[in-house]
Amino acid sequence: MDSTATQSAFRQQPNLRLRNPPLDRPDGSELFEDTSGAVAGSYMGKNQAGPQMSGFPGQSILSDPMSNLAMAYGSSLATQGREMVDKNLDRFIPISKLKYYFAVDTLYVGKKLSLVVFPYMHENWEVNFQQDTPVAPRFDVNAPDLYIPVMAFITYILVAGLALGTQNRFSPELLGVQASSALVWLIMEVLAVLLSLYLVAINTDLTTIDLLAFSGYKYVGMIIGVVAGLLFGRLAYYLCLLWCCAAIFVFMIRTLRLKLLSEAAAEGKLVRATRNQLRMYLTMSIAAAQPVFMFWLTYHLIR
């Protein structure tokens, strides 16, 4: 009986050693530390920390003082570069001034269109000023704007494409030629006026943007003439275009006359007869050129 128990215990002893190998050192300390609990604890700690400890991949980089210094230096360089670009861009394209020419509302657009089409009953053509600064176009119908010329130019291109389509002559290339030719003629017109002002030595408060605005009002009459021709035939085109040509001629005469004579009137001096005639001839030439461009850019669209 005892021998049998001893043999069974002797046989089970390797199993017990395999399960819990007590490899003890002579001094009583373990040969290898049990790190399973520490690993599990650290793993649980990471899971509990979650987003607070993990964050995002660049968090360790952003916490570095040298990285923060580099980012601050880069942002300052970007700010300086943007200011330099804005300053140089404003030298050639006055973006701050362009905001003035687009400060319009629906009421102003309606009044301005009626003034361009029917300028005969309008009496006061002077631009209002507030502290030596012209008021925004939405407060003064006499102030020039760029909203109507730009929208009229785009509408003219679209109407020209419609006219070409009704004649089975539409093509993207032909529409591009139409748009580019109209733009080139507009630029040449403005450059010719600037050259004339320089040669005649006329000092005026007219700017290049003002000339673009006044030269762009003729597209309103061109649109009316082409649409009338598409709807009612060639005779309606000629009648409407003739009316719009006369209207734009009167509009330009009454508007530019004050602009070209503004300096002499402000100084209270009488302009010499020769200089006064040059100013009037230049005003008449600019006004007379508008009907010529209106006919030249629209006559081939009506057949």
Q: For the chain, how far is it from start to end, CA to CA, in angstroms?
A: 130
Name which residue leads in pLDDT, 1 or 195: 195
Two tokens at 203? 């000092």
| pLDDT for the residue numbered 250 | 96
Average pLDDT in the chain: 79
| pLDDT for the residue numbered 261 | 67
Whole-prediction pTM: 0.69
| pLDDT for the residue numbered 246 | 97
How far apart CA 84 and CA 86 sit, in angstroms, is: 5
Instruction: Check whether 162 has a pLDDT greater than 90.
Output: yes
Overall residue count recorded for the chain in this entry: 303
Digit-coded pLDDT (tens) for 187-210:
999 999 999 988 888 778 888 899
* High-pLDDT (> 70) share of the chain, %: 69
How far apart CA 115 and CA 119 sit, in angstroms, is: 5
Digit-coded pLDDT (tens) for 78-130:
777 777 666 655 555 666 778 899 999 999 999 999 999 999 999 899 888 88
DSSP string of 49-75, one letter each residue: HTHHHH--TTHHHHTSHHHHHHHHHHH
Instruction: Check whether 23 has a pLDDT greater than 50.
Output: no
Average pLDDT over residues 145-172: 94
Q: Which of 91-95, 139-143, 164-168, 265-269 has the lowest mean pLDDT?
A: 265-269
| pLDDT for the residue numbered 259 | 81
| pLDDT for the residue numbered 86 | 60
Average pLDDT over residues 229-247: 96
Question: 10 Å Cβ neighbour count for 216?
Answer: 23
Instruction: Check whether 51 has a pLDDT greater than 50.
Output: no
Average pLDDT over residues 156-179: 93
Name which residue leads in pLDDT, 78 or 291: 291
Burial (CB count <10 Å: 0-12, 13-18, 19+), residue 197: middle
Helices 147-166 and 172-200, interaxial angle, to 10°? 140
Average pLDDT over residues 213-233: 96
* High-pLDDT (> 90) share of the chain, %: 48
Name which residue leads in pLDDT, 273 or 228: 228
Are 99 and 136 contacting, i.e. CB atoms less than 8 angstroms apart? no
